[in-house]
Structure 1
Amino acid sequence: MRSLPRLLRIAAVIVRYRLDDVIDESHRFRLLRWARLVVRRAPAEVAALPRGKRLVLALTELGPIFVKFGQILSTRRDLLPADIADQLTALQDRVAPFPGAQARAAIESSLGAGIAERYAQFDEKPLASASIAQVHAAQLPDGREVVVKVLRPDIHARIESDIDLLRSLGEIVERVHPRADKIRPLAVVAEIETTLRNELDLQREGANASLLRRNFLDSDDLYVPEVIWSHTHVGVLTLERVRGIPVDDLATLDAAGIDRVRLAEKGVQLFYTEVFRDNFFHADAHAGNIWVDASRPQNPRFIVLDFGIMGTLPEKDQYWLAENFLALFSQDYKRIAELHLRAGWMPADVRMDELESAIRTICEPYFTRPLSEISLAEVVVKLFQMAQRYQLTLQPQLILMQKTLLNIEGVGRLLHPEIDIWATARPVLERIWQKQRGPKMFLKRLRQRVPEWLAAAPDMPQLMHSYLDQVTSGSLQLHIASEDLRKLEANSRRSARIAVPLVLGATLAICAVLLQILDSQVPRWSGVSIGAAGLALGAVVGFIAAFRSR
C-alpha cells in the first residue's frame, strides 16, 4: 500500500501524455480510461508528438530512476516497437546535483579517510550529475588530475522502492497483456534490477574500465582513462581526468581539423574488434559517453567514458554471430538459415527452405541499394524480428550486442553520412575471425585445455569400455529433460563427430606420456622417445579433428 500514491501518480502521468491510447491497444486493461475524467490532458502540441517522444517526456517527469529504466529498456529492442526504442535511446540521464558537502562525506566514508588525506584538491561543484552518481574534479597529491564518481546518498533506498514498484507494474502487465508470454515483463524487470544493482557497485565499473583499457593499451583508435585503485571503492570511483570533444559536436570537431571520415571508420572497426577479438564491449556507447581526442586531428581516436554497462557473449554465440555476419556480407541466405538452426536459436522442426526464403525476403531488397546506403544494424534487427516469428527467444547478451551495433552505426553515420558500413566492417571481421580461428589461436587454446584432457584421460578408456558394454548389453538408460529433447537432434551428430577423435587423441596422449616415462629401452632422439613422439603427433591430430568438429 505504501506504493499506492506513487502508482496513482504514474497512472496520472500516463494519461496526461496520452500514453493510455497505447495501453488501450491491448483491449484488455481499460481502467485508465476513467482517469481521463479527472487528469489534465497534455497540451495539443504535446499530444501531436509521436508516442515515443511522449513516453520520453513521461519518464523524465516521473524521475531519474524511470529515466534509467527507459535507457535500459531501450536495449530490449526485441520487446519494443522500433519507433519507441529509437526515442528511448535519446533519454539523457541528467538530474539536479546533490550538495558537494554530501559528496565529500560519502567519499570519506567509503575510503575511510578524510578528503585532504587522499586528494590535494577537491572541487565540491560537480562536473556532471546523473540518477545513480555524480562526478567531481580533483587532484591527487602527486599532481595528477582525476575525476571522482560518487554514488548519490539516498540511491540504494530509492532503487529498492522503485524496483518494488516496477515489479508491481510487471505483475499487472503479466495479468492483462495478451502477449505477456512473449514480453515476459517480470523477466524484463529482473534484468533491469540486475543492471541497476551492478551500476551501484563502482568498484565493478572500475574493473570494467581496467580490462577495456588493457585491451586497447597504446591503441591508435581508443583511449580508456586509467583507474586509480588506491582511491576506488564500492561507492567511489577515481579515474584519470581526460579531455576531449563530444562526438556529436560536429562544429567543434571540424574547427579542430578532425578527420571525421577516418574517425567514422574507426568507430565501426572498434565495434567488431571489441565483440569478436576481445569478447568484451562497451554496451552504452551513445554520444554522451564518447569523446574525441583533439590532440591528433589526422589520426583521431575515441575516448570512452562510463563503464557501468559492458557486454560479453558466450563463446558459442560469438562463433555463430561471426559466421552469420560473414554469411550476410556474402549474401549467402542458405548459410544464414543453416547457422540459425545449428546454433539452436530456432526450433529443430523449422524447415530450412522456408527459413531461407524468409531471410531472402528481408535481405534482398537492401542489396538493390548502393552499399553506402545499407544499414547493417537495420538488417540485423529485421533478421532478429523475423526469427522471433519462428519462436526464437533472444538472450540478453545478443540484444545488448544488437543495441550497441545500432549505436555505433549511428555514431559512424553522424560523423560521415556517406560511410559504407559494409566495406568498412567486412575486412575487419574477416581479419579478426581468421586470426581467432587460425593456427596460433588454436595452439593457444590447445595449451589451455590439454592439462584438463590429460587429467581426465586415464579414466577415458574405462568410461568408453563401460559405455560400449552398456550399449551392447542393452542396459543403457537415457535421462532426457525437455530442453534436451529440443536440442538433441541438432547436437547428436556434432557430439558424435567430436567424441571419437577426442577419445582417440586422449588415449594416444596417455600412451605417449607412459612410453616416454616408463620405457627407457626404446630409441630416443635428444632424450625424447621416438615412439612417444609418434603417439603424441597422433594425439595432436585427434585433438585437431575434435576441435574442427565443434
Structure 2
Amino acid sequence: MRPALIALQPKKLSRYAAITKLLVKYGRSDLLDDAGLRDQCGDVQDTAASEDERQRAEQLANDLEQMGPAFIKLGQLLSTRADLLPPVYLAALERLQDDVESTPYETIERIVSEELGVRLSRGFSEFSERPLATASIGQVHRAKLRDGRDVIVKVQRPDIRGQIVDDLDAMHEMAELLEARTEFGRQAGLVALIETLRESLLNELDYRQEAANAAALRENLADYEQFIIPEVIDDYTSSRVITMQYLSGAKITDVSPAVLLEVDRRGLAEALVAVYLHQLLVDGVFHSDPHPGNLVLTRDHRIGLLDFGMVTHVPKDQRRSLLQLLLALADGEGDEAARAALDMGAAGRSFDEGAFHKQISQLVAENESKRVDQLSVGPGIMEIQRIASSCGLRLPHALHMLGKTLLNLDRVVETLDPTLDPTEIIRAQSTEIMRLHSRQRLSLQQAYNAMLEGADLLQHLPQRANRITELIASNGLKVEVDAIDEHKLIAGLEKVANRVTTGLVLAALIVGASLMMHLETSLTLLGYPAIALVFFISAATFGLVLVYRSMTTDQADPTGQGK
C-alpha cells in the first residue's frame, strides 16, 4: 500500500510547483509519476529535452539562483554528490554564486544597532555604506573599530530565516514522498540529503556558530605560521551580526604573476595540502569551502582563510578510514581503497561487493598511471562516490564534502605549483598524522575515562558477584545458547565424545597388549603370547577403521548426521 500523499499547504504551493518543474525540466519527470505528484502539481511540459547538456546544467544553476538561498545551498550541496549527478552538472552547480542586490544601508544600520545594542556611530569610527560583497543570506561591509582595528562586518538580511525554514519544510516533504515512492529517492537518500542541508543552513543562519568555527580553526592551526585565520571580535558578534579582523590581500587565483615570483609557491602549496590533511584527519573539523574566493594571499605572503559558515565535522571512526583511503589512493592499492570506503559506507540490499572492488581497483590503477601534472585526488574521491552509488553503497556526508574540498584545493594548488604531486604530500604527512592519532588515543582524557570505567566496575563488582552467587544457590542461573541448530550441535558433540572414548579404549588395548607381550605363556601365536597378539591386532584393526571413517564419512557428511 502506497503512503499517503503530502498535505499541500497553501503557502507552499509555489514551492511545490517550482520543485516539480525542476524535476520535469531536467529529466526526472518519471519521479512525478512514481510518486503520484503529477495530478497534484498540474500538467507541466518537458521543454528542455532537446537542449544541450551543458546548457541545461548552466540553466539549472540559474534556476536555483532565482529560487532563493535555500535552493542555492541545495545546489551547492548537490555539487558534492558525484553519485547523483553527471560531471557537467557538478561543475555548473559548483560555480553557484548567491550574489543579489544589496540591502539598503538604513536597514543594515538598524539591524547592527539592534543586535549589538549600540548606535553604529558609537560602536565604529568608520562603517562603509557600500558593501564589499552581497549574498542571499547576508552582506559584508568594511569598518573600523574605535581602537583603530580594521574589520569586516557581516550582517544577515531581514526576514531571511522564515523564508529559508519554509523552503526547507517544502523540500523535506517532497523528499519524504519521493523516498517513500521511488527507487531513486531511496537510493539517493533524499531525506538525509535535505536534513544535511537543514543542519548546514541553520548553522549558517546563526553567526555565533560561524564565530565558534573560526575560533576552533584558529586554535587548531596555530602552529602553521604560513596561514592566518581572522580573529572574531566577540563583543561585536551576535546571531545576525559577525565582526572579524580584516585581511588585506587578493584572491589567490587573481594574484599577478609578478607577485607570485616573490612567493615560495611550492612551500605554500605543500603547506596548504598539509593544513587540510591536518584539519580532516587529526582535528576532525575542516573548512569545507576552500574555493578561490575564500583563500587570499596577504601582503606578508601568507594564506588567509575566509568564510567559516561551512565547516564539516568528521567522527573519529571515520578519520582512520579516510586516512586509509587517501593512503591507498596515493600508493595505488585498489583493494585497500575499496576496503576503506566499504568501512565508511552503508551497504544496501542490492550492493554488489565484487563489482565495487573491481571498479575501485580499476580506478586506482588508472590514477596510478597518470603523470604528476595530471594527478588530482579530488576527482578520484568524486569517482569513488559514483562507483559506490552504482553498486548500492551509500557513503557518509563527510566523504562527499571531502571530495568537493579536495577538488577546490586542487585548483588552488595548481595555481601555486602545477608540478606538485599531492600523493607525495599525503605519504609525507601520513606518519605524522598516525603519530597524532596514537597520541589522541593515549591522551590524558582517555586515561581518565578508563580510570572512571574501572572505578565503576570495582564499585559495582561486589553487588553483581552477590547477585550471581544468589542465583547459583537458588538454582536460578540460566545460560542461553543461541545456536544455528541445537539438534545438529548435540549430535556432533555426541559423535566427538564417542570417537574420543573409542580412541581411549583402543589405546588402552594396545598398551595392555604391549605389556602382556613380556609374559611367559605356553599359548603362543607366531612366537608371541596369543592373547596379547589377538588384542594388539584387534586394536590396530579397529584403529584403522576409525581413521578411515574419520577421513571419508566425516568429509562426505559435514553436518554431523553420519551413522
Taking structure 1 as the reference length, what is the TM-score of the superposition? 0.75
1:3 to 12, 16, 20: 12
Task: Give the Cα separation in 2 of the matches to 1:467 and 1:316.
Answer: 36
Provide the secondary structure at the position in 2 that maps to 1:217: coil
Listed as ranges, the matches of 1:166-185 within 5 Å are 166-171=171-176, 173-174=178-179, 177-185=182-190
Paired position in structure 2 for 1:197: 202
Matching of residue 228 in structure 1 with residue 221 in structure 2: no
The 1:278/1:9 distance shift into structure 2, 3 A limit, reads: closer
Deviations 1:345-395 (A, max 9, x none): 558998987764443222112222224422222222333333345543222
8 Å CA contact 1:199, 1:205 repeated in 2:
yes
Please list, as runs of the form range in 1=range in 2, the aligned pairs for 1:257-406 lying within 5 A after superposition: 257-296=262-301, 301-340=302-341, 345-346=346-347, 356-406=357-407
Structure 1 residue 143: deviation in Å? 0.9
Structure 1 match to 2:478? 475
Render the CA deviation track for 1:499-538: whole Å, top value 9, x for unaligned.
xxxxxxxxxxxxxxxxxxxxxxxxxxxxxxxxxxxxxxxx
- Give the conservation status (yes or no) of the 8 Å contact 1:231–1:238: yes
Shift of 1:145: 1.0
Structure 1 residues 442 and 350 mapped into 2: Cα distance closer, same or farther (>3 Å)? farther
Distance 2:421 2:194 in 1: 38
1:303-339 C-alpha deviation (Å, 9 max, x unpaired): 1111111112111111222123223333334444554
Partner in structure 2 of residue 96 of structure 1? 101
1:351–1:110 CA distance, 2 compared to 1 (3 A): closer
* Secondary structure of residue in 1 paired with 2:398: helix
Q: What runs of 5+ residues in structure 1 fail to find an aligned partner?
A: 480-550
Equivalent residue for 2:430? Answer: 429
Deviates more, 1:76-85 or 1:199-208: 76-85
Residue type matched to 2:80 in 1? T
Partner of 2:146: 141
1:268 aligned partner, one-letter code: V
Letter in 2 for 1:230: D
Which of 243, 246, 249 aligns to 1:241? It is: 246
Partner of 2:522: none
Counterpart contact for 2:208–2:242, Cα < 8 Å: yes
Cα distance, 1:33–1:417 mapped onto 2, change above 3 Å: farther
CA contact (8 A) 1:346 1:387 kept: no
Query: 1:458 is matched with which residue?
Result: 458
1:253–1:394 CA distance, 2 compared to 1 (3 A): farther
Distance 1:457 1:136, change over 3 A: same
Structure 1 distance, partners of 2:451, 2:477, is 34
1:398 deviates by 2.8
Alpha-carbon RMSD = 3.6
**Letter of the 2:113 counterpart:** E
Native 8 Å contact 1:338 1:352 kept in 2? no
Tell me, yes or no, if structure 1 residue 105 matches structure 2 residue 110.
yes
Per-residue CA deviations over 1:173-225 (Å, capped at 9, x if unaligned) read 34664411112323322221221111110011111111111122253232100
Q: Tell me if structure 1 keeps the 8 A contact 2:228–2:304.
A: yes
* Whole-angstrom CA distance in 1 between matches of 2:223 and 2:337: 37
Query: SS at the partner of 2:11?
Result: coil
Q: Which region of structure 1 is more displaced relative to structure 2, 319-328 or 146-155?
A: 319-328
1:57 counterpart letter in structure 2? N
CA shift for structure 1 position 94? 1.1
Equivalents in 2 of 1:243, 1:111: separation in Å? 25
Which residue identity does 2:263 align to in structure 1? I
CA–CA distance in structure 1, aligned partners of residues 255 and 319 of structure 2? 34
2:71 to 50, 53, 66: 66
Measured after TM superposition, the shift of residue 172 of structure 1 is: 5.3
* Letter of the 2:449 counterpart: R
- Structure number with greater Rg is 2
Q: Equivalent of 2:135, from 130, 133, 145?
A: 130
Q: Does the Cα contact within 8 Å between 1:126 and 1:135 map onto a contact in 2?
A: yes
Report the CA distance shift for 1:168/1:138 in structure 2 as closer, same or farther (over 3 A): same
2-structure distance, mates of 1:143, 1:332 = 55
Q: Percent identity?
A: 27
Contact kept? 1:200, 1:235, Cα under 8 Å: yes
1:138 counterpart SS class: strand
Please give the alpha-carbon distance, in whole angstroms, between the structure 1 residues aligned to 2:477 and 2:357.
41
Q: Deviations over 1:248-268 (max 9, x none)?
A: 214367467334333322222
Where does residue 51 of structure 1 map in the other structure?
56
1:37-75 CA-partner distances (Å, limit 9, x unpaired): 9xxx6899x757443222112212333442222113323
Distance across 2 between alignment mates of 1:11 and 1:111: 42
Mapped partners of 2:137, 2:403: distance in 1:
25
Give the residue type in structure 1 aligned to 2:456: A
Worse-superposed segment, 302-311 or 424-433: 424-433
The one-letter code sitting in structure 1 at the alignment partner of 2:429 is: V
Verify the 8 A CA contact 2:27 2:49 in the aligned structure 1. no
What is the aligned partner in structure 2 of residue 490 from structure 1? none
- The Cα of 1:407 is off from its aligned counterpart by 2.0
* Preserved contact between residue 195 and residue 309 of structure 1 (Cα < 8 Å): yes
Cα gap change, 1:371/1:474 in structure 2, threshold over 3 Å: closer, same or farther? farther
DSSP-derived class of the 2:27 partner: helix
Q: Which moved more, 1:314-323 or 1:395-404?
A: 395-404
- CA offsets 1:430-479 (integer angstroms, 9 cap, x no match): 322233225x8625454343442343241474588589989998735699
